[in-house]
Amino acid sequence: MNDFFIKQLRQLKVSKKSRILLAVSGGIDSMVLLNLLKTNGYNFAIAHCNFSLRREDSILDQKLVKKISQSHGVKLFIKEFNTVEYSEVNKISIQMAARELRYKWFESLSNKYEFRFIAIAHHKNDSVETLLINLIRGTGLSGLHGINQLDDKIIRPLLNFIKNEIIDYAKKNNIDYRDDVSNKDDKYVRSKIRNRLIPIMQEINPDIINSINKTILRVRDVEVIYDEVIREKKEKLIVFKNKEYRVNIDSLLQESTPKQLLYEIISDFNFLDVESVFTSLKSSSGKEFINSDYYMVKDRHELIISKHIHNDNVVIYKDITNIKSPFNISFSVIPYIDCDYHKNNINKMYIDFDKLEFPLLIRSWKKGDKFIPLGMKGFKKLSDYFIDNKFSLIQKKKTRLLISNNEIVCIIGERIDDRFKLVENSKKVYIVHF
């Protein structure tokens, strides 16, 4: 086992000089990994999480880890968490809470003390259990590849060892460890799979762990090919323009598996209800989908995805030179003589300063809004202006107006109201830089 372990570390690009942060619970897996690293002279420190879930057992786990770190002269970091409170506040399971807490802490330690790797003692059985959990809950291809041996700086040197090999090594080397009694509690999904489902599967195939791991390796190879095809398809179907992602619906529906391809596209933006979105593709325009980060709408022949659109109003006082949120706009005033106002464009808008009444207001458009587009004489409803200029639904939603005394000064980044344009006797210019 030792020789194969060293080979695994070499494949992971880990040298004897690499600074490693080792996660140690006190259980058999992490204690064996600790022993292997120490025996082979690797450079590591220990991180122990006390999740305050098992009372006296948690205290005894911590004592054992502290004892072994002192005996080996290894730096030890200990962190106690209120896992139950974190779980309740974030409305997630205890297991998920513990996972989030430990990985955030590991990352912070890694950044602070410049550890190159974070070593976790996952093994083959853990990878199989993860696959089965994902399969039972329903998953895509990525949920069938088990646990990765390398995730950025996280390494799992024991991932190619089965549990029995780890147990045998612990016995032969008289390694002290503690049993986690919660592993025997079938109220957890993983424990139920480990203690009940896998033994049934082993009755059919005693070597089920290795068999499923062979399948995992094949799935990973297939996933590489699949990802290459998906990447090529996305490049053809998705156009990024004006900070929006546009998917041509007709082209998408001509694909052999349009629903799966749609899932791969929208899941990048954390939209997961592919059934609802796919159904909307054949309906009339206007169907909207919103999450915490993105806004998506079915518009004519395209599915348009944009960063989440805020409807916050912003008051602009005379002395304000810029705003950062919810959008980035700067304001300046210069003498009219210094201004080449003929260069009006979507990034800079030149307005007659003396025609403004402060404070100004930036807001989204609303039904009934009208203005006199630059170069025209009569009023035009914004809704008609949008139609004439073929605004998409997202463009309409993104539209922001600069208002002075309840009058539209300009559609920011689009067009100035003719009443606020610069004329020959203008003295000062108000520049809106979007």
User: Residue 121: what pLDDT?
Assistant: 96
User: Residue 343: what pLDDT?
Assistant: 55
- As a whole-number percent, the residues of the chain with pLDDT over 70 amount to 97
Residue 342's pLDDT band (boundaries 50, 70, 90)?
low
Residue 340's pLDDT band (boundaries 50, 70, 90)?
low
User: Residue 17: what pLDDT?
Assistant: 92
- As a whole-number percent, the residues of the chain with pLDDT over 90 amount to 76
Q: How far apart are CA 133 and CA 191, in angstroms?
A: 11
Q: How far apart are CA 55 and CA 60, in angstroms?
A: 9
Other beta carbons within 10 Å of 170? 17
Per-residue pLDDT tens digits for 185-230: 677 788 899 999 999 999 999 999 999 999 999 999 999 999 999 9
User: Residue 12: what pLDDT?
Assistant: 93
DSSP H or E run through 36: helix 28-39
User: Residue 338: what pLDDT?
Assistant: 61
Contact in structure between 178 and 27 (CB atoms under 8 Å): yes
- Is the pLDDT at 426 greater than 70? The verdict is yes
User: Residue 339: what pLDDT?
Assistant: 60
What are the two backbone dihedrals, phi and then psi, of residue 344, each rounded to the nearest 5 degrees?
A: -50, 135
Per-residue DSSP letters for 341-360?
GGG--SSEEEEEGGG--SSE
Per-residue pLDDT tens digits for 218-247: 999 999 999 999 999 999 999 998 788 999
What letter does residue 290 receive in the DSSP assignment? E
What letter does residue 405 receive in the DSSP assignment? T
Residue 341's pLDDT band (boundaries 50, 70, 90)?
low
Average pLDDT over residues 329-339: 85
Domains in the chain, ordered, with CATH? 2-217 (3.40.50.620), 242-307 (no CATH), 314-433 (3.50.40.10)
User: Residue 345: what pLDDT?
Assistant: 62
Ranges 21-30, 87-96, 348-357, 361-370: which has the least confidence? 87-96
- Is the pLDDT at 310 greater than 80? The verdict is no
Q: How far apart are CA 263 and CA 365, in angstroms?
A: 33
Angle in degrees, CA 386, 388, 391, rounded to 5: 40
From start to end of 66-216, where are the E strands? 76-80, 117-119, 150-151, 154-155
Per-residue pLDDT tens digits for 137-176: 888 888 898 999 999 899 999 999 999 999 999 999 999 9
- Who wins on pLDDT, 139 or 87? 87
Average pLDDT in the chain: 91
Long-range contacts of 387-394 (CB under 8 A, 24+ apart): 392/244, 392/297, 392/299, 392/300, 392/302, 392/304, 393/285, 393/286, 393/288, 393/297, 393/299, 393/304, 394/244, 394/295, 394/297, 394/299, 394/304, 394/306, 394/309
